């Protein structure tokens, strides 16, 4: 009856002009646990709890052959490299090799496992089969069925061969991944990859990286040579049960417990890592055209990098103390600050000649930001004051603005330049940028960073890992969420105001939808505390800096939906010239003795 209903429904849908409905293949009498395409894509193999494996024709769903031999559920299916055979693993603790064309049992059942066979797969040249039951891995000769080496004791669930067939990856119940040498069965390397069971592993066709999927709702990529994570952690909404890498290595597909299949583009997943600083990178910023990045480090240097390839441009500017803040403008100056006299020095970008020294703070400068018209710059200091300076003359235009009871973590102009927001670890203050009058005072729990949105709202990062969104007056708390597990060190809002990025001492960067205040895209893992981030003018790149002296440039294409990248403000002609070697770039950097 059910087949008759399916036939009638499909005929009705075709008559009504709807898309061709899926073929419903009827034959199994219990849950289907495993499916796989033949390499030519014309047929499908399925394995079921009813103990059978069946082969189906894709074109019309016709059942080609039924393969019966297991006395328990079929939990695993995999083809030989030449597609002439396939291997199955079952809850009956056995492994069987079948003929793909006739359905004949060629080998087995292979006996020895003491539990359900969770995975069984051919080696790349087809001469061996690896299988595991959660207690042991067994390697069989695929022709004779003899064990090749003694069983390897480990809590493996999924298995994956390296392309050369000499090594085997095993995902384990404790969240670790192990790599074994097949000649001896010895462990070559093991590492903690997930916080729950590793349920699936895939090795890239070129053998350079591995993908793992876990019940902790994540997919992670690993460098084959170093066993270190590459790129961000891919977050899913539910337990991830399977993962596969495309033949070109450009895409990854995952399947989860919620029924969702996700296809991930792997392009841009791994950031450019810029090496040059020998100490912590305290601050980063994009130049106005988005083609270059500037960074300031505790090694006393400020460096300029090309976004396209990560190449360092020109010689580094050297200071006596750590460079702890950088800011870029519309294309005129570079500024740095030294630890000895708490000053800010302005230089010409083209010639690196010293232009003017800004003096006024009595302690280290921790924050810098330009006004929208680049005519002035605001600085926040450990001396608990805020000062506004003339960019061209170095004159103190406003300040020292007093009222904060602790060091100024952050100070920045509003989008139209009429206000300045600043924060210490106790409160946020809004100042009139012309008169210096305090407009608003708002006490909140441990603010660590503050920035404006294009529509004049305030985003505040806190030491407890939360992010808060306030109205422009800071009277109304519009939204709050727990974003990180440690101090929020930096926040960057996209130029179109549709998304933002947050960086934390928890060693991650996260992207957020401004409208819904929910995370978008994967969590970007950095392995060190991240102290500064910036988003490019086009919104398509992100730069980060932190401990370890490394600057990272991330491509956001593929992580951010196209809808969130539209309506970016046009870059002005003045800004567009910043990348021309004949023009100069505005950059302010501050150095300090802070550790």
Q: Which residue has the tokens 């030449």?
A: 82
Tokens of 147: 């064990």
**Beta carbons of 219 and 252 less than 8 angstroms apart:** yes
Q: Which of 43-47, 340-344, 394-398 has the highest mean pLDDT?
A: 394-398
Give the tokens for residue 578.
């910043």
The answer as to whether 559 is a domain residue is: yes
Q: Looking at the structure, tell me whether residues 297 and 327 fall in a common domain.
A: no
- Which pairing describes strands 587-591 and 333-337: parallel, antiparallel, or unpaired? parallel
Residue 274 lies in a domain: yes
Backbone angles phi, psi at 15, to 5 degrees: -65, -40
- Residue 221: CB atoms within 10 Å: 24
Quick check: 1 and 8 in contact, CB under 8 A? Answer: no
- Final residue of a domain: which of 283, 316, 349? 316
Task: Say yes or no to pLDDT of 60 above 90.
Answer: no
Query: Is the pLDDT reported for residue 19 higher than 90?
Result: no
Same domain for 225 and 248, yes or no, is: yes
Report the share of the chain in percent with pLDDT over 90.
Answer: 40
Residues 473 and 590 in one domain: yes
Domain, as residue range, for 502: 446-574+585-594
Stretch (H or E) spanning 13: helix 2-15
Which of 90-104, 140-154, 524-538, 556-570 is most confident? 140-154
Same domain, 309 and 326: no
- Domain membership flag for residue 279: yes
Quote the pLDDT of residue 13.
Answer: 41
pLDDT at 454 over 50: yes
Q: What is the mean pLDDT of residues 407-434?
A: 94
Residue 298 inside a domain? The answer is: yes
Segment 11-15 mean pLDDT: 45
**C-alpha–C-alpha distance, residues 123 and 104, integer Å:** 21
What is the Cβ-side half-sphere exposure of residue 13, based on CA atoms within 13 angstroms?
A: 12
For the segment 88-139, what is each residue's pLDDT rounded down to a tens digit? 888 899 999 988 877 788 998 999 999 999 999 999 999 999 999 999 999 9
Average pLDDT along the chain: 82
Closest alpha carbon to 273 in 528, 532, 533, 554: 554
Q: Which residues contact 226 (CB under 8 A, 6 or more apart)?
A: none
Domain boundary residue among 382, 408, 443?
443
* Same domain flag for 344 and 206: no
296 and 208 in a common domain: yes
Tell me how far apart the alpha carbons of residues 133 and 510 are, in angstroms, rounded to a whole number: 37
The pLDDT tens digits for 492-514 are 999 999 999 999 999 999 999 99
> Do 412 and 467 have their domain in common?
no
Computed over its alpha carbons, how large is the radius of gyration of the chain? 30
pLDDT of residue 326: 67
The C-alpha atoms of residue 132 and residue 158 are separated, in whole angstroms, by: 8
Domain-located, residue 153: no
Encode pLDDT of 221-271 as tens digits: 998 888 888 877 887 878 888 788 877 787 777 776 765 667 677 776 667
* Pair 399, 471 in one domain: no
Q: Does residue 49 form part of some domain?
A: no
Would you state the pLDDT for residue 271? 73
Domain boundary among 297, 316, 335: 316
Q: What is the CATH number of the domain that holds 312?
A: 2.130.10.10
pLDDT at 12 over 60: no
Question: Which is higher by pLDDT, 487 or 274?
Answer: 487
Structure tokens at 67: 């393969």
Tally the domains of the chain.
Answer: 3
Q: Which of 315, 235, 316, 221 is nearest to 271 (CA)?
A: 221
Question: Does a cis peptide bond (omega within 30 degrees of 0) precede residue 541?
Answer: no
List, for residues 339-365, the tens digit of each pLDDT value.
Answer: 556 888 777 666 667 777 888 999 988
What is the pLDDT, as a whole number, of residue 123?
Answer: 93
- Residue 551: count other Cβ atoms within 10 Å of its Cβ: 27
The answer to whether residue 70 is domain-embedded is no
What's the whole-number mean pLDDT along residues 1-23?
Answer: 46
């Amino acid at each position: 009856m059910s087949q008759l209903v399916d036939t009638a429904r499909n005929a009705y849908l075709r008559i009504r002009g709807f898309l061709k409905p899926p073929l419903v293949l009827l034959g199994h009498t219990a849950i289907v646990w495993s499916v796989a395409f033949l390499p030519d894509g014309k047929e499908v193999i399925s394995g079921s709890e009813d103990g059978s494996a069946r082969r189906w024709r894709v074109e019309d769903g016709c059942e080609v052959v039924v393969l019966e031999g297991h006395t328990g559920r079929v939990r695993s299916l995999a083809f030989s490299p030449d597609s002439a055979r396939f291997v199955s693993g079952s809850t009956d603790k056995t492994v069987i090799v079948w003929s793909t064309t006739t359905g004949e049992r060629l080998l087995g059942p292979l006996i020895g496992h003491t539990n359900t066979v969770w995975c069984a797969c051919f080696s790349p040249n087809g001469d061996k089969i690896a299988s595991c039951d959660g207690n042991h891995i067994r390697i069989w000769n695929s022709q004779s069925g003899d064990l090749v080496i003694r069983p390897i004791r480990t809590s493996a669930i999924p298995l994956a061969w390296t392309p050369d067939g000499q090594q085997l990856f095993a995902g384990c119940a404790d969240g670790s991944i192990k790599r074994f040498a097949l000649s001896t069965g010895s462990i070559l390397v093991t590492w903690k990859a997930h916080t729950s069971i590793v349920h699936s592993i895939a090795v890239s066709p070129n053998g350079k990286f591995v993908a793992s999927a876990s019940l902790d709702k994540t997919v992670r990529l690993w460098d084959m040579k170093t066993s270190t994570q590459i790129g961000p952690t891919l977050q899913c909404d539910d337990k991830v049960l399977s993962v596969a890498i495309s033949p070109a290595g450009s895409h990854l597909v995952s399947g989860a417990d919620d029924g969702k299949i996700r296809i991930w583009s792997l392009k841009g997943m791994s950031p450019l890592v810029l090496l040059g600083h020998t100490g912590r990178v305290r601050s980063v910023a994009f130049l106005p055209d988005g083609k270059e990045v500037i960074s300031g480090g505790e090694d006393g240097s400020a460096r300029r990098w090309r976004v396209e390839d990560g190449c360092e441009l020109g010689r580094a500017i050297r200071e006596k103390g750590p460079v702890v803040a950088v800011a870029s403008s519309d294309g005129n100056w570079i500024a740095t600050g030294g630890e000895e006299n708490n000053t800010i020095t302005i230089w010409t970008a083209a010639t690196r000649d010293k232009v003017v020294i800004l003096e006024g703070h009595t302690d280290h400068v921790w924050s810098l930001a330009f006004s929208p018209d680049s005519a002035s710059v605001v600085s926040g200091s450990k001396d608990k004051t805020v000062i506004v300076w003339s960019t061209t003359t170095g004159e103190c235009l406003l300040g020292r603005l007093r009222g904060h009871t602790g060091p100024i973590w952050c100070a920045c102009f509003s989008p139209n330049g009429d206000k300045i927001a600043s924060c210490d670890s106790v409160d946020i203050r809004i100042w009139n940028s012309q008169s210096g009058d305090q407009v608003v005072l708002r006490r909140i729990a441990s603010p660590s960073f503050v920035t404006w949105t294009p529509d004049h709202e305030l985003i505040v990062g806190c030491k407890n890992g939360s992010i808060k969104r306030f109205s422009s007056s800071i009277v109304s708390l519009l939204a709050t969420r727990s974003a990180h597990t440690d101090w929020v060190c930096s926040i960057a809002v996209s130029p179109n105001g549709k998304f933002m990025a947050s960086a934390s001492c928890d060693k991650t960067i996260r992207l957020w939808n401004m409208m819904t205040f929910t995370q978008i895209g994967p969590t970007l893992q950095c392995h060190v505390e991240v102290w500064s981030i910036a988003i490019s003018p086009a919104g398509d790149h992100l730069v980060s800096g932190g401990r370890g002296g490394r600057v990272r440039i991330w491509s956001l294409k593929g992580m951010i939906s196209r809808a969130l990248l539209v309506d970016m403000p046009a870059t002005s002609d003045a800004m567009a010239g910043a990348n021309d070697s004949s023009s100069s770039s505005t950059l302010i950097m501050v150095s300090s003795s802070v550790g």
